[in-house]
Structure 1
Amino acid sequence: MDQPSVPELVRQFHEDGYLLLKGVLSPEKVGRLNAAIDSIIAEEPESLAYNIYNSVERHEEIASLIDEPTILPLMVQLLGYNIQLHISHLTIRRPNPQGETTSSQSFINWHQDGPHPQFPRLGGVTSTYYIKSCYILSDMSEPNRGNTKIVPGSHNKPFQPDHQNVDDLLPGEIQVCGEPGDVFLFPQNLWHAGAPNRSNHTRRQLFLGYSPIWIRPIDYRAASEKLLKDASPYRKQLLGIIDDNPFKYYVPSDTMVPLKQLYTGDPGTGGYAH
């Protein structure tokens, strides 16, 4: 499916704080990912909800999304070229009509992502430090299926929810609705929540987040040999392999960051939060 131009997507992202891209993954790719997820869940204790981090380590089909060619060039334009994989988080929310809270968090209250204490704010606004791409792998075309809730534009202005209860509406909130194969992108500073799933549909969403390479990733201290085996230059960079000298994470030479080939913006901002 045709998408708007990359410059238009970048403008829209910075203005609204999210993008919903339709039909990014083929039905065949979605099927393979869901089969991989089935095998992962079969190894987990039975639960209404699953939060599986470092999911790229669990199956090669998921790892193939690290440098997904339909998303990576756009991610480089949004965040710069000195970037890495920050997190790979598989979330599953089975039907839960009673809104039962489980140890694996069957719903998530309103929040911005980030460390504790949070990233610094200037005038009540937090900068963008990392961006997540969310692959929708189940039918999320209607609201109230455990959808991700967001408040568009809340990344660009001082904003604080007057409550955390995801059942009560916030002014301006929407639920992100999409079909299997759609992808939505949002920065860590956009206010969002994971609503309970009171439908008959199981929510399946796979989040791959990217950050500047000088931020410590969430998934691992160092990428495994399994992930690095036969990795392309792009994927090696995204797995944090650029040089033995850690100082180069801050000031890499061009040869260390092959993703610069995809970047068309101001090189003075490439790879740094802005």
Structure 2
Amino acid sequence: MTMIKSAIPELTKQFNEEGYLLLKGVLPADKVTRLNDAIDGILAGEPESLSYNVYNSIDRHEEIASLIDEPSVLPLIIQLLGYNIQLHISHLTVRKPNPEDVRTTTSSFINWHQDGPHPQFPTIDGITSTYYIKVCYILSDMSEPNRGNTKIIPRSHNCVYQPDSQNVRDKLPEEIQICGEPGDVFIFPQNLWHAGAPNHSDHTRRQLFLGYSPIWMRPIDYKTASERLLKDASPIRKQLLGLISDNPFNYYVPDDSMVPLKKLSLE
């Protein structure tokens, strides 16, 4: 955690230039184990499938909810996006080995895209600004390619770019696959071109995405956070769950007392 905090200026520069960060060994092994145990319990209640997409996953288990304000990552997100932010999405993806490319109802792959609404965010000279940032916690061995890894096009967030093919199975000359070990963290903005490759290996992919956006945007997971999530929540977690004021105007212009994350800002 100290290492990441001390490197925030350098990481910010790298993120702005390359459009992504891969941080090694962010979560300790015991935390990864507890998260995987929680995921086992969630999947036990789901229909059997080769592929799972579980949205609003923070409301499914406290261990996952604990990542909302993960102290090793949050100061960096504040530096990248500002302090008037909230949790935008929490999305668990599991891809079991699928060498035969069997189609599933829960999307066993995702073609090349930028995240965002339809129609997409407005552009200026063909370039979309960063509206939200995703933190991907890698929870299985993704140290080799072709294990259902996330593919990205570095630097595609700040230039006019259109892939030659949107089919994730077609290898693009600019693409790289994000390879990491359990406990590593991958961070990228919504405007980076990326894709979720099929899993043709004998390893199961487990990745947990938590996205952050300005608090004036609508979150994807819920209209308002559940009472269970808000109960006993710290002021910082309440802000990240979108609870800062009864007056919607304050989502745009908050008083300092409404945004405790400002205390973690480097500015």
Relative to the length of structure 1, the TM-score reads: 0.95
Residue type at the aligned position of 2:81: L
CA–CA distance in structure 2, aligned partners of residues 90 and 151 of structure 1: 22
Residue type at the aligned position of 1:181: G
Partner SS state of residue 30, structure 2 = helix
1:132-151 CA deviation, whole Å, 9 max, x = no partner? 00000000000000000000
Residue in structure 2 matched with residue 199 of structure 1 by the alignment: 201
Residue in structure 2 matched with residue 168 of structure 1 by the alignment: 170
Residue in structure 2 matched with residue 139 of structure 1 by the alignment: 141
Residue type at the aligned position of 1:83: I
Residue in structure 1 matched with residue 124 of structure 2 by the alignment: 122
CA–CA distance in structure 2, aligned partners of residues 144 and 162 of structure 1: 20
CA–CA distance in structure 1, aligned partners of residues 225 and 128 of structure 2: 29
CA–CA distance in structure 2, aligned partners of residues 98 and 191 of structure 1: 26
Residue in structure 2 matched with residue 37 of structure 1 by the alignment: 39
Partner SS state of residue 264, structure 1 = coil
CA–CA distance in structure 1, aligned partners of residues 219 and 172 of structure 2: 31
Residue in structure 2 matched with residue 268 of structure 1 by the alignment: none
1:185-196 superposed matches below 5 A: 185-196=187-198
Deviates more, 1:97-106 or 1:177-186: 97-106
Residue type at the aligned position of 1:9: L
CA–CA distance in structure 1, aligned partners of residues 232 and 70 of structure 2: 16
CA–CA distance in structure 1, aligned partners of residues 198 and 102 of structure 2: 8
Q: CA RMSD in A?
A: 0.9
2:72 aligns with one of 70, 73, 79: 70
Q: Shift in Å at residue 171 of structure 1?
A: 2.2
Q: Shift in Å at residue 100 of structure 1?
A: 1.7
CA–CA distance in structure 1, aligned partners of residues 215 and 148 of structure 2: 32
Residue in structure 2 matched with residue 270 of structure 1 by the alignment: none
Partner SS state of residue 155, structure 1 = helix
Partner SS state of residue 226, structure 1 = helix
Deviates more, 1:33-42 or 1:99-108: 99-108
Q: Shift in Å at residue 73 of structure 1?
A: 0.3
Q: Shift in Å at residue 117 of structure 1?
A: 0.5
1:44-63 CA deviation, whole Å, 9 max, x = no partner? 00001000000000000000
Partner SS state of residue 143, structure 1 = coil
2:82 aligns with one of 72, 80, 83: 80
Q: Shift in Å at residue 185 of structure 1?
A: 0.3
Alignment gaps of 5+ in structure 2 = none
Deviates more, 1:174-183 or 1:95-104: 95-104
Residue type at the aligned position of 2:235: P
Residue in structure 1 matched with residue 28 of structure 2 by the alignment: 26
Residue in structure 2 matched with residue 102 of structure 1 by the alignment: 104
Partner SS state of residue 249, structure 2 = helix
Relative to the length of structure 2, the TM-score reads: 0.98
Q: Shift in Å at residue 210 of structure 1?
A: 0.2
Partner SS state of residue 228, structure 2 = helix
CA–CA distance in structure 2, aligned partners of residues 195 and 101 of structure 1: 13
CA–CA distance in structure 2, aligned partners of residues 75 and 106 of structure 1: 29
CA–CA distance in structure 1, aligned partners of residues 250 and 140 of structure 2: 40
Say whether residues 1:155 and 2:161 are aligned partners. no
Residue in structure 2 matched with residue 235 of structure 1 by the alignment: 237
Q: Shift in Å at residue 164 of structure 1?
A: 1.2
Residue type at the aligned position of 1:252: P
1:2-13 superposed matches below 5 A: 2-3=3-4, 5-13=7-15
> Once the two structures are aligned, what percentage of the paired residues are identical?
75
Residue in structure 2 matched with residue 53 of structure 1 by the alignment: 55
CA–CA distance in structure 2, aligned partners of residues 125 and 108 of structure 1: 22
CA–CA distance in structure 2, aligned partners of residues 123 and 171 of structure 1: 24
Q: Shift in Å at residue 106 of structure 1?
A: 0.1
Q: Give the total of aligned pairs.
A: 265
